[in-house]
């Protein structure tokens, strides 16, 4: 095992141990520091594997006597280990400040201990090279995150979200285990090296692929197995939400890529079409639901579903191109998917961390009760705004680069021989373009309602600026987003090593023109200069500022006096006269009302002076995912009916239980004699 990875394991174990045994006043700083050191160790160790170092395998002394744990580090596992390590380092300064202002008064020992094992499980998944150690690491990651989701278990809604998450995590784990069972049954070994040497029949390969898509897609949040995600993220501590959305979902992407492109051998066109369409529908469905949400972390959770959809859309295109022999275009789509995974890990972590600061400082999680936070929390508001620019794929931040590469890959569908594929890919890409447009609506609503205008609640008026350590995390992640947005060729240069190892792919022209331009295919097809775009935007802002200052100096404010706005005879401006988030999204909500179930309630409070004062009315609106009613509730009702039928066997009479045992013995003897 590389020494740096071994050191990181000891750091994470030390972080978990310190959270249990050290005095309570120390663990708030000791555990995050050890986790940050683990992230630094992993980051420095895996970087060489993204610059040409060949894959490295090793065997652990742990495991079963006849089945030792196998590990492997290649470009794919190094990339996702790098994502985990970097995000842990960037989030670590946020944790002590968050815990110091946590008003729930709970012990922080289990939270920090399970956070440490959660991070260790994610690292372990990316290094595992056999089904045995992979599933142990996967369960460590899932069980630890279950306890993190249920940290505030006093609330029944939190317990419900945790149990839903655990249920779906184990259903997904069963699907993953069955997928690995297909490889193990044919290779007569649990190691991934044996699976790589297999040549499965199309039927068996498709079965393993479908099970992997179901299992990893359930953890990633693909439609329709996504319902746990908007339930679990809002109730978890905010830095845990950042780790789950920014990192854990990428671990699920890693697992799917490991099966689809590394273990399965030959790739089929039908696989790519399926993944591409599921990804496109997931992206559009996720952002539509995000647009109508009022709870800030629930909105961000649905946005994570959208971005996972974009990643799987690009992976689907890569599979289509690879199955049809277009290695160059497959590499472009694959690099676009990896770039979007990196970018989403950064800006979604920023958004969840900033949302956590807003919730802690304002004691509000519903944006309809916020407002005016940009004046009360200026640094948090500024970084939140930059995060919205990145997540809506606006230049010069990093979100634009990966989505631009994704659409450039879609444009290469003209090189496919099949006319059907040349039609399907652009139609799916059109859904991604529509998704990007709607995301601007969703995050304009989020930032405008929460940070602009006036405070809508008295608790919001008492909001204080976020602590300095939180701002440090915001600034570091924002800086990373800006660097990738302005100089994306360095990240893309690292990412091209992954398709080079997986299927001998690559993008030879991507950085041919140096640091100023990126050319995905060739300069004659398309090119993008992020530094020039950044310079143009910066000059435009500077010129606008100069013109504004010149007009202000020469004309002054006397020429344009400020007077109170006319209130139509109803008095001055108040927080209640502001535009609401519900009003902002209502047109879209009414047009597409079939996608969700609306929960609108109108309550009336009678006046004590009946007849003299009007009755006070309060209107509340909410939405629920219709897939929950279409798919999950019928299954739950069927299980309940089956449980009631089975419960009739429990009569409490001994003679009945003896009869059950007797007939069971007879059936087993009959089966054994028949064999």
The DSSP secondary structure of 320-346, one letter per residue, reads HHHHTT-HHHHHHHHHHHHHHHHHHHH
Whole-number pLDDT of residue 560: 61
Tens of pLDDT, residues 536-576? 999 999 999 999 888 878 776 555 667 777 767 666 667 77
What average pLDDT does this structure show over 92-105?
A: 82
What average pLDDT does this structure show over 633-659?
A: 83
Whether residue 641 is contained in a domain is answered as yes
Residue 616's pLDDT band, with cuts at 50, 70 and 90, is low
Whole-number pLDDT of residue 567: 66
Q: Decide if pLDDT at 376 tops 80.
A: yes
Q: What is the spatial distance between Cα 435 and Cα 4, in angstroms, rounded to a whole number?
A: 41
CA distances from 203 to 75, 179, 200, 278, 651 (A): 29, 13, 8, 21, 46
Q: Decide if pLDDT at 584 tops 90.
A: no
Tens of pLDDT, residues 377-390? 999 999 999 999 99
How many domains are contained in the chain?
1
Say if residue 396 is preceded by a cis peptide, omega within 30 of 0: yes
Residue 654's pLDDT band, with cuts at 50, 70 and 90, is confident
Whole-number pLDDT of residue 592: 81
Q: What is the spatial distance between Cα 368 and Cα 644, in angstroms, rounded to a whole number?
A: 43
DSSP string covering 496-555, please? THHHHHHHS---TTTTTTTTS-B-SS-TTT--B-HHHHHHHHHHHHHHHHHHHHHHHHHH
Whether residue 639 is contained in a domain is answered as yes
Tens of pLDDT, residues 429-477? 999 999 999 999 999 999 999 999 888 888 888 888 889 999 999 999 9
Q: Decide if pLDDT at 675 tops 60.
A: no
Q: Decide if pLDDT at 242 tops 90.
A: yes
Whether residue 121 is contained in a domain is answered as no
Lowest mean pLDDT among 278-282, 389-393, 501-505, 590-594: 590-594
Whether residue 393 is contained in a domain is answered as no
Give me the percent of the chain exceeding a pLDDT of 70.
93
Highest mean pLDDT among 68-72, 120-124, 493-497: 120-124
Whether residue 653 is contained in a domain is answered as yes
Whole-number pLDDT of residue 444: 93
C-beta atoms surrounding 433 within 10 Å:
13
What average pLDDT does this structure show over 89-117?
A: 86
Q: Decide if pLDDT at 412 tops 70.
A: yes
Whether residue 116 is contained in a domain is answered as no
Q: Decide if pLDDT at 671 tops 90.
A: no
Q: Mean pLDDT, the chain, as a whole number? A: 88
Q: What is the spatial distance between Cα 375 and Cα 373, in angstroms, rounded to a whole number?
A: 5
Whole-number pLDDT of residue 358: 93
Q: Give the residue numbers spanning the domain of 633.
A: 628-674
- Which residue from 591, 500, 152 is spatially nearest to 160, judged by alpha carbons? 152
Q: Are 418 and 405 in contact (CB under 8 A)?
A: no
Lowest mean pLDDT among 57-71, 125-139, 590-604, 637-651: 590-604
- Which residue from 247, 257, 270, 167 is spatially nearest to 216, judged by alpha carbons? 257
Q: What is the spatial distance between Cα 652 and Cα 658, in angstroms, rounded to a whole number?
A: 11
276 vs 418: which has the higher pLDDT? 276
Residue 52's pLDDT band, with cuts at 50, 70 and 90, is confident
Whether residue 649 is contained in a domain is answered as yes
Whole-number pLDDT of residue 587: 85
Whole-number pLDDT of residue 609: 60
What average pLDDT does this structure show over 249-256?
A: 95
Whether residue 654 is contained in a domain is answered as yes
Whole-number pLDDT of residue 575: 74
């Amino acid at each position: 095992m590389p020494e740096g990875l071994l050191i990181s394991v000891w750091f994470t174990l030390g972080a978990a141990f310190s959270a249990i045994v050290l005095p309570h006043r120390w663990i708030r700083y000791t555990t995050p520091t050890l986790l940050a050191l683990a992230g630094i160790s992993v980051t420095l160790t895996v970087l060489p594997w993204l610059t040409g170092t060949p894959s490295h395998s090793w065997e652990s002394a742990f495991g079963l006597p006849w089945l030792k744990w196998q590990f492997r580090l290649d470009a794919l596992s190094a990339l996702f280990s790098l994502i985990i390590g970097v995000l842990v380092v960037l989030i670590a300064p946020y944790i002590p400040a968050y815990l110091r202002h946590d008003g729930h008064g709970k012990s922080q020992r289990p939270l920090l201990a399970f956070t440490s094992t959660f991070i260790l499980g994610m690292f372990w998944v990316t290094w595992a090279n056999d089904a045995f150690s992979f599933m142990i690491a996967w369960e460590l990651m899932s069980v630890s995150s279950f306890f993190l989701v249920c940290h505030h278990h006093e609330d029944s809604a939190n317990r419900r979200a945790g149990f839903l998450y655990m249920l779906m995590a184990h259903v997904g784990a069963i699907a993953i285990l069955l997928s690995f069972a297909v490889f193990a049954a044919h290779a007569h070994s649990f190691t991934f090296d044996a699976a790589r040497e297999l040549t499965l029949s199309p039927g068996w390969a498709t079965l393993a692929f479908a099970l992997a898509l179901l299992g990893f897609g359930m953890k990633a949040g693909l439609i329709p197995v996504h319902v746990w995600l908007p339930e679990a993220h809002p109730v978890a501590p905010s830095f845990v939400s950042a780790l789950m959305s920014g990192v854990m979902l990428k671990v699920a992407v890693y697992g799917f890529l490991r099966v689809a492109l590394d273990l399965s051998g030959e790739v089929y066109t039908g696989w790519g079409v399926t993944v591409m369409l599921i990804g496109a529908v997931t992206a559009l469905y996720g952002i539509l639901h995000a647009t109508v949400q009022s709870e800030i972390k629930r909105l961000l959770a649905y946005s994570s579903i959208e971005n996972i959809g974009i990643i799987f859309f690009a992976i689907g295109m890569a599979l289509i191109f690879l199955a049809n022999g277009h290695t160059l275009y497959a590499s472009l789509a694959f690099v676009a998917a990896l770039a979007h995974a990196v970018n989403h890990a950064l800006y979604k972590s920023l958004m969840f961390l900033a949302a956590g600061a807003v919730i802690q400082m304002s004691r509000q999680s519903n944006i309809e009760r916020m407002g005016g936070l940009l004046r009360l929390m200026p640094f948090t508001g500024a970084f939140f705004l930059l995060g919205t620019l990145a997540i809506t794929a606006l230049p010069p931040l990093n979100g634009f680069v990966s989505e631009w590469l994704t659409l450039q890959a879609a444009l290469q569908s003209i090189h496919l021989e099949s006319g059907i594929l040349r039609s399907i890919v652009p139609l799916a890409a059109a859904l991604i373009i529509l998704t990007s447009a709607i995301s601007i609506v969703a995050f304009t609503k989020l930032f405008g309602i929460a940070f602009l205008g006036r405070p809508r609640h008295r608790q919001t008026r008492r909001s204080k600026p976020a602590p300095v350590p939180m701002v440090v995390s915001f600034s570091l992640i924002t800086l990373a987003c800006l660097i990738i947005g302005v100089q994306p060729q360095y990240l893309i240069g690292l990412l091209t090593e992954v398709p080079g190892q997986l299927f001998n792919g690559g993008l030879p022209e991507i950085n041919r023109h140096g640091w100023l331009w990126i050319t995905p295919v060739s300069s004659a097809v398309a090119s993008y200069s992020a530094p020039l775009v950044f310079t143009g935007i910066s000059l435009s802002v500077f010129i606008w500022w100069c013109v504004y200052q010149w007009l202000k100096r020469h004309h002054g404010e006397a020429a344009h006096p400020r007077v109170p706005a006319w209130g139509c005879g109803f008095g001055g401006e108040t927080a209640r006269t502001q535009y609401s988030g519900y009003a902002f999204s209502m047109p879209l909500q009414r047009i597409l009302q079939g996608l969700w179930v609306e929960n609108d309630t109108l309550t009336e409070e009678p006046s004590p002076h009946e007849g003299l004062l009007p009755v006070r009315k309060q209107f509340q609106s909410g939405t629920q995912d219709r897939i929950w009613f279409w798919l999950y509730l019928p299954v739950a009702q069927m299980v309940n009916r089956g449980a009631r039928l089975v419960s009739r066997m429990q009569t409490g009479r001994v003679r009945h239980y003896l009869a059950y045992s007797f007939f069971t013995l007879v059936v087993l003897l009959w089966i054994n004699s028949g064999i």
